[in-house]
Amino acid sequence: MHIVSVLYHWAPTVKREQIALEGLKPFQPPTVHSQDMRAPYICLGPSPSAAWALSGDMGWVSEIEEWDLWQVVLPADGTTEVHVRPFFGNHVEEIKVYTPLAPNCLWLVGTREPAVFVS
């Protein structure tokens, strides 16, 4: 039984091949915070929009034009270390996974490209 079923992770499209081959891993070079800090976890959201708020929606990563949305299904074998970030209210905003997620746990949902406005 899964308490947390489907989760989401946004990553720059340039990382697609690496993620498809190696999965998602803690301690990778970060996209959304200081390059000096490598988080010991993978950051996931309970919905695509919640995951976006944790990554591409940050103002200082606006130079990244294309982002891939990955759907994540945690392994059912109980070996994944999962922590829900403490929150106030009734919405889970972030799930931190402290163990690697193999490529077979991931599905590439789609790519978010820069918006083009026509006047």
Q: Return mean pLDDT, the chain.
A: 83
Q: 43 in a domain, yes or no? A: yes
Q: 71 in a domain, yes or no? A: yes
Q: 115 in a domain, yes or no? A: no
Mean pLDDT across 84-91: 71
Q: 119 in a domain, yes or no? A: no
- Residue for token pair 């982002």: 67
Q: 87 in a domain, yes or no? A: yes
pLDDT at 54: 81
Q: 117 in a domain, yes or no? A: no
Convert the pLDDT of each residue in 42-68 to its tens digit.
999 999 988 988 876 666 556 778 999
Q: 1 in a domain, yes or no? A: no
Q: 118 in a domain, yes or no? A: no
The CATH number of whichever domain residue 69 belongs to comes to 3.20.170
Give the count of domains, the chain. 1
Residue 25: domain span: 6-110
Q: What is the pTM of this model?
A: 0.83
How does residue 1 score in pLDDT terms, banded at 50, 70 and 90? very low
pLDDT at 57: 60
Q: Is 114 helix (H, G, I), strand (E, B) or coil?
A: coil
How does residue 115 score in pLDDT terms, banded at 50, 70 and 90? low
- 39-52 burial, b for 16+ CB within 10 Å, e for fewer? eebbbbbbebebbb
